[in-house]
Structure 1
Amino acid sequence: MANASQHHSGYSKHCGPPSSRPKRIAMVCDFFYPNTGGVEIHLYQLSTCLIKRGNKVILITHSYGNRKGVRYLTSGLKVYYLVYGQMYNQAAMPTFGFSTYLPIFRKILIRERIEIVHSHQAFSTMALEALLFARTMGYKTCFTDHSLFGFADISSIHTNKIIRFTLSDVGHVICVSHTSKENTVIRANLDPLDVSVIPNAVDYISLTPDPSKRDPTKITVIILSRLVYRKGVDLMVTVIPEICRQFPHVQFVIGGTGPMAINLERMIEKNCLQERITMLGAVTHKNLREVLISGHIFLNCSLTEAFCIAIVEAVSCGLLCVSTKVGGVKEVLPPELIKLAEPCTEDIVAKLSEAIEEVGDFDPWKAHNLVKEMYSWIDIAKRTEIVYDRLMNEEPYPLIERLCRFHNCGEWAGKLFVVVAATVYIMCQILEWWCPKKSIEACPDFNYRKWELQKKFKKNNDSGRDRNADLLRVKQL
C-alpha cells in the first residue's frame, strides 16, 4: 500500500475519499498472521484499505503460539487472538456455543459496537460459527468463500452440508471468481442474486520487478505454496526431475511448508538434485518480493483453485507464469502473462518448456503494469463497501423463518440444524440475562485520521506554519 507519508487528511490519495457512511466491521477467520497464505493477505489488505477509507475494522482469530490477546498492527488494524482449541490444519474446534467462545465473541462485538460480521474461508470453523452466532444476535453478516469443493468424496459431502446450513441464513456471499460463485451457489443451494464476485488483488506498490536480482547464467523457476495435496505436490515431484533432465541451465526454488514437503525431499535425494533445487521452508510476506524477483518463471501445480493470488503476485514481480488450468485460474490473467496446462505431468512439462524458451522475450515491467491496471485493493475495498451498504438496508429474518431455512437443509440434517440453531438462540438469551448488553462498556475507537496527522506532524520540520496547522488539526480530532 502507499507509504504513510503520502496520506492526506487521514486517507491515502490512492484510496479515494472515505466512505460516505462509515461501517463498523468484524472480520473473522482462523487463518491470519503470523500464518501466511492467500487468505491471510486478503484479510490484511482488505481490512487496511477499509480502515483508510474511514471504516472501523477489527479482526478475530485464534491464538498462534505466544501471540494471544489483543494486538495492533502497524496499519491500525486491531486483532483479537483468542485462546481457542485447534482441530486440524490450524482450524478451530467446533463448539456450537458450548464454550467460552460465544460469551467472548458476544462481548467483543458489543464492546467494539460492531454492525457487520464478515467471515472468511469455508475451512474456518471459527468463521462459520461466527456467522451463526452473529445472525442470532441480530448482526448483519457476510461471507467470503476462497476455495472450491468437490461433490463426490465423503469430506466434501459433509463440508457442503455444513456450508449449506451456515449460508442459508447469511446476509450476502462474496466469491473470488465466477467459477467459485458457480461452485458455491450449487453447494449451498443459494440464490445467485445473493452472491457477488469480487476478486483478490495484490499490493502492486511493493511487488515490483527487479531483473538485476536474477542469476544471469541460469533460469530460475519459483514455486511458492503450501505443500499439501491440493497444491499439486505429486505433480511437482514428477515435473521437476523431467525439466532438470531436459534443461541443464534451469534451477528451482521452492518456498512453503506442509505435510508433503517430505515427498519433495525424497525426490531431491533420489535424483541427486541438491545443487539445482533450493528448499526455503516458510516464506514470510515481507520476504515474498525478495524470493520472487530472483526468478524468471513462476510455477503453480494446484489441483483446485478459486483464484490463486500467488500467480498475480508473481506476475506483478515480473515473472512469466505457468499454471494448471483448474478452477478460477483461467479467469485471472490474460494469455500473454500465463501459460495454462492441464493438471498432468506431460502438459505441465510441455508448457514449462515453452516458457523456458520464451522467457527472454518477456517484459517484466509490462507485466507489472498490466497487473497494476487489473487488480487494486482499493477497488476491492470500494466494491466490498457496496455489499455492506446492501446489508445495512436489509431487515433481519424473524426466528421462525430462520428455523424454517435450517429445516430445509435436509430430511435428517435439517432437524439437527434446527436443534443447533435453537440451542445457540437459548444460549444468547441466557447471556443477555446474565450479562446485559447495556452493562458492557464500549471501548474507544482507534482514530486512524488522527494517527496519520500525528505522524505527519512529527515528520514536518520544514515550516513552523505547517507544523502549527497540523497540530491544530490533531487537537480538533
Structure 2
Amino acid sequence: MPRRSYNIAMVSDFFYPQPGGVESHIYQLSTKLIDRGHKVIVITHAYADRTGVRHLTNGIKVYHIPFAVIYRSAIFPTVFSLFPVLRNIFIRERIEIVHGHGALSAMSHEAILHGRTMGLRAVYTDHSLFGFADMGSILANKILKFGLSDVDHVICVSYTCKENTVLRASLDPLMVSVIPNALVSASFRPRKPASKPLPLRPHEPITIVVISRLYYNKGTDLLTAAIPRILEAHPNTRFIIAGDGPKAIDLQQMIEQNVLQDRVEMLGAVRHEEVRDVLIRGHVYLHPSLTEAFGTALVEAASCGLYVVSTRVGGIPEVLPPHMTVFSDPEEDDLVSATGRAILRIRAGQVRTDLFHDQIKSYYSWVDVAARTERVYDGITNTIPEAEFYGSDASAAPDGRSRIPSFAMIDRFKRYYGCGLWAGKLFCIVAAVDFLLYVFLEWWFPRADIDIATDWPRKIIVEDEEGEEGGWEENGPG
C-alpha cells in the first residue's frame, strides 16, 4: 500500500536564524519528512529583518510572522490575535497536521488551539524539563496542561522528559511517545582519520570546549566558578567557549579578574554550521547544564571525537554510553573533579575517542526520527489501527472510548474543564471564544477567497505491491 503523505505545519517561536537544539530539530525533522514525500512548512516569528515568506534551499517554506517578542525569542501570548494569520496560512497550505515545538513557545500552543478549533490534527514535541515548586514552573505547567488537554499526541525527546511532561500536564502515558533527537553525522566528523589515540606529552596542551547559550539554567554560573580551579590544577589546559547570553558578562569578568585571557577564548555566538569547526579544536567537551531534556550538543561533540564531561541531570544519562562520558553532580567541586579525571584519561590515551564517530552514527539518525514521527501521524489520523498504534491491550481509553480526541465542542469542553477548579472554567471560555472567532472569520473572510499556495515540487516514495520501496515519483506543483 502506498505511504500516505501529509501537509504538516511545524510551529514554534524558535527557528533559524537563531541557533539552538529546538531550531536544529525542527529543520532536520522537516527535511527528512520532505524526503519521505510529505509537505512541510515552518511558522515562526520574524527575526530582525527576516519577515514574510522565505524558501529554504531544501524546499521548506518558512513563514516569519511579525509579532512582538518579549523573552528569550518567545512572542507575547495573546491567545487570539494570531488566529486570523494562522487560519489563512493553514488554508493556503492545506495543512492537515499542526506540530508545535517548545514548552515556552506561545506561538506553538496558540497554533495547536486554533488548529484544533479548525478541525486539524495536532502533535506537540516537548524539548525541556520543568520543576513543580517555583511560581514560574507552576504557571508554565498550567499553560502546558491547557495546551495539551486537546492535543492528539505528544512526543518527548527522552524518557526523563516523558515522565516530566506526563506529570506536568496530567497526560495518559500511552498518549506520549519518546523519539530522541539525532544529528547529521556527516556534518560532525572528527578532524583526523580513525586511529588509536597516543598518550599526550606533559607539555602538550589539552583544549576543553564549551558550546552553550550562556544562561543560568545552562550552568554558566557553575562554569564561571569551575574554570579558574580547573586551569590552576592542570597547567597545560585551555578553554574555548562559544555562545552568547546574559551570563557572558560574568565569564568575561572572571577571565579579567584571574588574568586568564591567554587560556580562555570566548568566541561569542556561532552559527550551527560552524559548530563542528569549533569542536574539532578540542579534546574534552564540558557541559555543565543544570537541567536538560536531551542534550544534542553532547551527541555532536562525541561524534567529533571529544570526550564528554557532563552534569548528571534530566535526560542526559540516556544520551551517551558510559565509555564516552564522565558524569558529575551539578555542583562546583564534583564538576572540577570530573573534568580533572577526563583530562588525565585523555592525556594517558586511555579513551578510544577515534571510535566515537562511527558509534554515534549507528545510534542516532534523522531518517529514523522522521520514520517514527510519521508513524505518530499515521496513528492520530487512523491510517494505522489504534490497536496497532497504542498496543493491542491498550487501544481504548479507560472509559472504552477512542484515545484519539474528538473535535466535538462538548468533548473539548470536558477535557478543558478537567484542568482545575478555576482554570478549567477559564479554559472552557477561551475555547468557546476561539470557536466563535473561527465562525466569524469563516463569514468575514471565506475560504473561497483564500488562494491555495502552489506546492514545492517534491519526491514521493513509491512502494511496490509487497510493500517494499520501489523507487521515486515526481510530484509537481498543484
Normalised TM-score (structure 2): 0.88
CA distance in 1, matches of 2:192, 2:218: 27
- Aligned partner of 1:374 in structure 2 is 363
Aligned 8 A contact 2:455 2:477 in 1:
no
Asked if structure 2 preserves the Cα contact closer than 8 Å seen for 1:19 and 1:55, the reply is no
Deviations 1:44-84 (A, max 9, x none): 00000000111100000000000001111111111001111
Q: Whole-Å Cα distance in 1 between the matches of residues 136 and 237 of structure 2?
A: 39
**Aligned partner (choices 234, 242, 264) of residue 255 of structure 1:** 242
Measure, in 1, the Cα distance between the counterparts of 2:352 and 2:58.
33
Q: Which residue of 2 aligns with 1:231?
A: 218
Q: Does 1:390 align with 2:371?
A: no
- CA displacement at 1:395 relative to structure 2: 6.2
Distance 1:119 1:276, change over 3 A: same
Structure 1: which 4+ aligned runs deviate by more than 6 Å?
472-477
Residues 183 and 300 in structure 2, CA contact (< 8 A), matched pair in contact too: yes
The correspondence for 1:203, drawn from 184, 188, 199, is: 184
For the residue of structure 2 that corresponds to 1:336, the secondary structure is helix
Deviation by residue 1:179-220 (Cα, 9 ceiling, x = unmatched): 0000000000000000000000011011100149x9993100
SS at match of 1:33: coil
* CA distance in structure 1 between the aligned counterparts of 2:319 and 2:56, rounded to whole angstroms: 30
After the TM superposition, which residues 24-63 of structure 1 pair with which residues of structure 2 at under 5 Å, given as runs?
A: 24-63=7-46
Aligned counterparts, 1:267-346, within 5 A: 267-346=254-333
Give the corresponding residue for 1:109.
Answer: 90
- Specify the code of the residue in structure 2 equivalent to 1:50: L
Residue 141 of structure 1: aligned partner: 122
Aligned residue identity for 2:28: Q
Residue matched to 2:155: 174
Cα distance, 1:449 vs. partner?
3.3
More displaced stretch, 386-395 vs 259-268: 386-395
Instruction: Give, in angstroms, the shift of residue 19 of structure 1.
Output: 7.5
Equivalent-residue separation in structure 2 for 1:476 and 1:68 (angstroms): 24
CA distance in structure 2 between the aligned counterparts of 1:356 and 1:114, rounded to whole angstroms? 51
Closer, same or farther in 2 for the Cα pair 1:106/1:279, shift >3 Å? same
Shift of 1:435: 1.3
Once residues 361 and 67 of structure 1 are traced to their aligned partners in structure 2, the CA distance between those partners, rounded to angstroms, is 48
Contact 2:458 2:475 in 1 (8 A): no
Secondary structure of the corresponding residue to residue 263 of structure 1: helix
Provide the C-alpha distance between the structure 1 equivalents of 2:116 and 2:19, rounded to a whole number of angstroms: 29
Match of 1:192 in 2: 173
Cα distance in 1 for partners of 2:47, 2:151 equals 28
Give the stretch that moved more between structures: 135-144 or 428-437. Answer: 428-437
The C-alpha deviation readout for 1:266-292, integer Å capped at 9, x for no partner, is 111111101000000001011111000
Q: What residue in structure 1 maps to residue 466 of structure 2?
A: none
**Does 1:74 find its partner at 2:57?**
yes
| Shift in Å, 1:396 | 3.0
Q: CA deviation at 1:438?
A: 2.7
Once the 2 structures are TM-superposed, how far is the Cα of residue 397 of structure 1 from its aligned partner? 3.0
Cα deviation, residue 448, structure 1: 2.5
Change (3 A) 1:73 1:475: closer
- Distance in 1 (CA, whole Å) between partners of 2:45 and 2:111 is 12
- Deviation at residue 137 of structure 1 after TM alignment: 0.7
State the distance in 1 between where 2:445 and 2:251 align: 54
1:302-360, CA deviations, whole angstroms, 9 ceiling, x for partnerless residues?
00000010000000111000000000000111000111110011111111111101113
C-alpha distance in 1, partners of 2:476/2:313? 54
Task: Answer whether contact 2:217 2:291 (CA < 8 A) is retained.
Answer: yes
Match of 1:414 in 2: 424
Superposition deviation, residue 475 in structure 1: 9.3
Q: How many Å separate the matches in 2 of 1:356 and 1:365?
A: 16
Change (3 A) 1:345 1:211: farther
Give the Å deviation of 1:476. 12
Cα pair distance change 1:476/1:202, threshold 3 Å: closer
Any idea what SS the aligned residue of 2:323 has? coil
Aligned partner (choices 96, 101, 110) of residue 129 of structure 1: 110
Q: Gaps spanning 5+ residues in structure 1: where?
A: 1-17, 451-471
Q: Is the 8 A contact 1:223 1:255 kept in 2?
A: yes
After superposing the two structures, state which structure 1 stretch, 111-120 or 430-439, moved more.
430-439
Residues in 2 aligned to 1:473 and 1:260: alpha-carbon distance in whole angstroms: 50
Give the fraction of aligned pairs with identical amino acids, expressed as a percent. Answer: 51
Question: Aligned pair count?
Answer: 436
In structure 2, distance between residues paired with 1:111 and 1:476: 14
Contact 2:36 2:459 in 1 (8 A): no
Q: Deviations over 1:248-301 (max 9, x none)?
A: 110000000101111111111111101000000001011111000010000000
| Cα pair distance change 1:476/1:224, threshold 3 Å | closer
Once the two structures are TM-superposed, the CA of residue 361 in structure 1 deviates from its matched residue by: 3.0
Superposition deviation, residue 23 in structure 1:
0.9
User: Quick one: which amino acid aligns to residue 254 of structure 2?
Assistant: M
Q: 1:53 to 1:365 in 2, by over 3 A?
A: farther
- Maintained 8 Å contact 1:144/1:175: yes
Amino acid at match of 2:426: L
The match for 1:94 among 77, 91, 106 is 77
Q: Which amino acid aligns with 1:57?
A: V
What root-mean-square deviation, in Å, do the aligned CA atoms of Structure 1 and Structure 2 show? 2.0
Distance 1:111 1:350, change over 3 A: same
Partner of 1:435: 445
